[in-house]
Amino acid sequence: MRKSSDCQRTIRRTFAAMEDSPKKRRARTVRKPIAPQAKDRGPQPGSLNENELTTAIVSKLSAKHKCQLDPTQFRIDESLVKVGAMNAAAGFAFDIHPKPGPLNSGVKRRICQDILKLSLVKTFYKTTEDRDVTVAVILGDKDALDSFQGITHPTWMKRAADMAGVEVRLAD
Q: What is the CA radius of gyration of the chain?
A: 30
Q: What is the DSSP letter of 3?
A: -
pTM of the model: 0.69
Rounded Cα distance between 39 and 58, Å, is: 26
Rounded Cα distance between 141 and 147, Å, is: 10
Return per-residue pLDDT of the chain as tens, 172 residues: 556 677 777 777 776 766 666 666 665 565 655 555 555 555 544 555 678 888 888 888 888 888 898 888 888 888 899 999 999 889 999 999 988 888 888 999 999 999 999 999 999 999 998 889 999 999 988 999 999 988 888 889 999 999 999 999 998 7
The domain segmentation of the chain, as residue ranges, is 46-170
Q: What is the CATH number of domain 46-170?
A: 3.40.1350
Rounded Cα distance between 168 and 142, Å, is: 11
